[in-house]
Structures are given as structure tokens and as C-alpha cells.
Amino acid sequence: MSMEHVTRLTCVSCGKHYGTDVLYTCPACGIEGILDIEYDYRKVGETLTRAALERRLPTQWRYRELLPIDAASELPPLQVGMTPVYDAPRLGAALGVKSLKVKDDGRNPTGSFKDRASAVGVVKARELKKEVIACASTGNAASSLAGFAAAVGLKSFIFVPERAPEPKLAQLLIFGANVLRVKGSYDQAYYFCQDACAKYGWYNRNCAINSYLIEGKKTAGLEIAEQLGPEIPDWVVFSVGDGCTIGGAWKGLKEMHQLGFTPRLPKMLGVQAEGSAPLTEAFEKNAEAIRPIEAQTLADSIAVGQPRNWRKALRAIRESKGAMVSVSDSSILEAMRKSARLAAVFAEPAAATAIAGLAKAVEKGIVRKSETALVVVTGNGLKDVKSAIQATSPPIDIPPNLSALDAELNHRRLL
């Protein structure tokens, strides 16, 4: 169904067009030539309708016309996508917006937004008769790929920086991935993975160069448009690392607007950690390129000092008339507490970064208090329990008697 809707691939750097035989980046531009997949939207609109969607399963495959996979391809059995959107009035009031919704992508099979891309990745790998799939990741893409590779019987090799949190490593190992813990940063792990894929012919799941995978990420935008329709908010907020996620989601929102599912488009707010904010810097300086840095933040999933998909990310921000902000690690920890206690959504640090960023955008007057917003929580807090514990107070150690309890409750003013 869907590959018949793909018309061409276009380089976002030089504008050259290619057929679907190109696997990764623009042959003319090399690694800088990220490709964009284009579709025949007239043809897509003939079958992708609200009436049709009412009859389809609640997964990201419901948008198959807008995904670059063959109609006959076997899909992974895990349910991915169509994650819930919650009203979060208390959290919204605390952040200072008129109303707030939270889309909880921590509900995906391995606990993160990255499942959307990995699901497409394993389908493409099998279409190409590949037996091995690989990626470099700070954690979420790694655990996601390991899970989906296990679901379809592919061998996976995962390159992670030595700072990857233990719960994410546990996921990789239990899914049976071959885990290569690199003595270095994420950027070093990324280039190491690139070299290994080139040498051994493994299918490369890295979204930074694999545009087919970004199409999986855009399903979040497709879902937001379908789920909210005419109630689309003024702002949609994402944390930003490599730039693939916000760029993909913006593309999905635009496609659904073009197909008539939503009457207008939101502004995109991208949020980075202050210790890993090259995209924010480029946006604020209106630069046409980024300045690579050495990333330093507890939000490991967005600790990317040299974003590869910066062009698509900045395009999303600028086309939508949105903004970029950066936030401190301490405000990220505070946002973890707020999202859990005011919206009952347990966000890992990178996901909570978006919540902290919305608060800062309101404080700076970028987002008006009269406006509405939706924050996408991209990963579950159980992915990084060390940071969650750091964000909270320790438990109360107490002997099992009521006198001791009464004393503690009075001392802590809990009665």
C-alpha cells in the first residue's frame, strides 16, 4: 500500500531528488545530506480518511499510506503508537498556560517514543533481507531496537556510550542484543557504529542518517492531529537531541493538515538541556549551521553535542513560527517531580525537559498564558531511576509502631 505512495527522496541540503533505491544519505552530499521522503498526497487522501481510520487498529500502522514500507511486509507483533493524550489542568496551571495536554509515549512497548522508529526499522531491514540491524544510542533507541529486533528475530548490535543508565542497559541485555559499551561519548559511539555498519553490511537504524526511520517518528504528529482535530493546541512541545523527533513530528502534523484532519497547525517548541544546546544556540543566533559542543547533562537521551538532523529540526521550528529554549538540569529534575505529582505521568529526564522548557517559555513570554499546549513525554521515568531518586526526598525509615509514626508525622508536619 504505502511504498506505492512514495514519489521520491529529496536532499534537505542540496535539493537533489532520488528514487527509493537510496538507503541513507544524499550520494552527492554524504553524511550531511539528510533525505526527506515525499508522497503522492492526492493518492494518499483517497484511502486515508477519518472513516477509514475508524475501522483500523489503534497502532501507528493505521497510517500505512504515509509510511515507507511495502504493502506485503510483515509487521512486528508489538503494539506501538496511538499513545494516550491526557488533560493535565493542575500541571498546566503550575506551568502557567491556559490548558495543557500530555501525550504519554512512555506507554510504548519498550517505554519510549523511539519504538515508533524501531518498528519501521526492523520492517525495512527485513524488506532488504538483512539479518543484522545496528544503532548507536544513549539508551532509548538502543532498548527500543533491541526489543523490536527480538520481536521479529533479527540480530542486533547496539553501541552505547559508557554513561548509559543501567536500567536501559538491562533492557538491551534481556532482549538479547549484542551490547558494545563504548569508552567515550555518544558522538564517538555514533561514528563507531557508522563504521561498523559500513564494514559488515549491517542495516543502520540511526535516524540521524536513515530517513525511513524518521517516518516512524512522524507518526506522533499524525496521531496528535487525528486525536485532537479542531482542538489542536497553540503549541506542541518536544525535547530535542539529534533533531529527528521534532522534525519528524512536524512533518506528520503538516501532512495531516494537508489531508484535512486538522484546520490549523501548531507552533513547535523545542527544548534542550543547557549543557547540550547547539540547536538552541543556532536558533537564537539565526544561524544556518550548528556549532558542535561536548554535551554535559543528566538528560542522557538528549545528550547530543553534534546533532545530525539539525536542518529538519530548525526547519520545523522556523516553519511553524515556533521557538527553541534550553533549561538547566535542576529545572529538569523539578519538572520530573511536577509531571508525576500534578499529572501522574512518570517522565525520564529527557522527557521532563520538555515540561521544564514550557515553563521557561511562559516565563520568557514566548508562550502566552492565554495559549494552549501539548507536551509529548518521550520516555518513561523507570528508564533512569537514579535521576528519579535524585529528584525526590528519601523514604522515611521507621520502626513498626504507632508511637514512632506519630512522632515522625508531627515532626514532618504531615498531620
Q: Which domains does the chain have, with CATH numbers?
A: 85-111+214-390 (3.40.50.1100)
Nearest by Cα to 95 from 379, 391, 388, 357: 357
pLDDT at 1: 42
pLDDT at 306: 87
Spatial contact of 155 and 131, defined as CB atoms under 8 Å apart: yes
Spatial contact of 247 and 254, defined as CB atoms under 8 Å apart: no
Mean pLDDT per segment of 10 residues, for the chain of length 415 residues?
83 93 91 92 96 96 96 94 98 98 97 95 95 88 93 95 81 93 87 93 88 95 98 97 95 98 97 96 93 91 89 96 98 97 96 98 98 97 88 90 94 88
Side-chain-side CA neighbours of 313 within 13 Å: the count stands at 34
pLDDT at 332: 97
Alpha-carbon distance of 390 to 13, in angstroms, equals 42
Strand partners, 324: 270
Alpha-carbon distance of 394 to 388, in angstroms, equals 11
Query: Rg of the chain over CA atoms, in angstroms?
Result: 21
Alpha-carbon distance of 354 to 148, in angstroms, equals 26
Alpha-carbon distance of 255 to 12, in angstroms, equals 17
Spatial contact of 208 and 137, defined as CB atoms under 8 Å apart: no
C-alpha cell at 305: 553535542
pLDDT at 139: 74
**Alpha helical stretches, state H, 364-401:** 385-390
Nearest by Cα to 79 from 5, 156, 154, 148: 148
